[in-house]
């Protein structure tokens, strides 16, 4: 990929500009293992501001129109990652909306969870549990969830025959 193409593709994997710049600076990657190691190392080296920038690039869990507003792969990935919410009951969707609001009020950023493979009910239960966390601990948990999301998206990017 050209550098502009790689920037666009990596931004779809993680919304932190510093993470993307770090990944671009380390190109080319000799293997998937090297790419994954760099992705993790760079992510863990970033600060709160960078993490919040990445979190802000995500739609809220259960926000039906948000993934569709995002263009390209990131929007379709977000929609697929949250697919289980579409099948949830109205009560669960309403509860997710309420817990999203409460979470954002408490911590100052949206509820981040690696939604792949989780039901809407599981995500709701996790959000309720995480509301009890200390803010510093919760930031670390949210950061780990973002790291997992980024790794899954890098896998999707590479599985489509695209490289960074």
Query: Could you report the per-residue pLDDT of 97-114, keeping only the tens digit for each?
Result: 999 999 999 999 999 999
Overall domain count for the chain: 1
Residue 164 lies in a domain: no
Residue 32 domain-assigned (yes or no): yes
Of 107, 99, 111, nearest to 145 by C-alpha is: 111
Question: What share of the chain in percent tops pLDDT 70?
Answer: 84
* Exposed / middle / buried, residue 24 (Cβ in 10 Å: 0-12, 13-18, 19+): middle
Residue 83 binned pLDDT confidence (cut-offs 50, 70, 90): low
Residues taking part in catalysis? 58
Q: Which residues form the domain of 153?
A: 3-159
**CB distance 98 to 77 below 8 Å:** no
- Which range has the worst mean pLDDT, 33-42, 79-88, 91-100? 79-88
Q: Is-contact 55 109, C-beta < 8 A?
A: yes
The 10s digit of each residue's pLDDT in 19-71 is 999 999 999 999 999 999 999 999 999 999 999 999 999 888 877 554 444 55
Q: Which pLDDT score, from 0 to 100, does residue 91 have?
A: 92
CATH of the domain at 94: 1.10.3330.10
């Amino acid at each position: 990929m050209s550098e502009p193409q790689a920037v666009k593709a990596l931004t779809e994997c993680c919304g932190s500009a510093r993470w993307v710049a770090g990944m671009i600076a380390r190109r080319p990657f000799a293997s998937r293992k090297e790419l994954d190691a760099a992705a993790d190392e760079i992510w863990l080296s970033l600060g709160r501001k960078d993490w919040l920038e990445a979190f802000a690039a995500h739609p809220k869990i259960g926000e039906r129109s948000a993934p569709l507003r995002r263009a390209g792969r990131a929007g379709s990935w977000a929609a697929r990652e949250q697919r289980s919410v579409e099948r949830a009951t109205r009560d669960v969707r309403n509860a997710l909306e309420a817990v999203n609001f409460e979470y954002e009020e408490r911590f100052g950023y949206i509820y981040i969870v690696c939604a792949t493979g989780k039901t809407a009910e599981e995500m709701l239960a996790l959000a309720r549990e995480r509301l009890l966390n200390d803010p510093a601990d919760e930031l670390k948990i949210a950061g780990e969830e973002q790291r997992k999301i980024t790794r899954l998206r890098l896998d999707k990017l590479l599985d489509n025959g695209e490289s960074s």
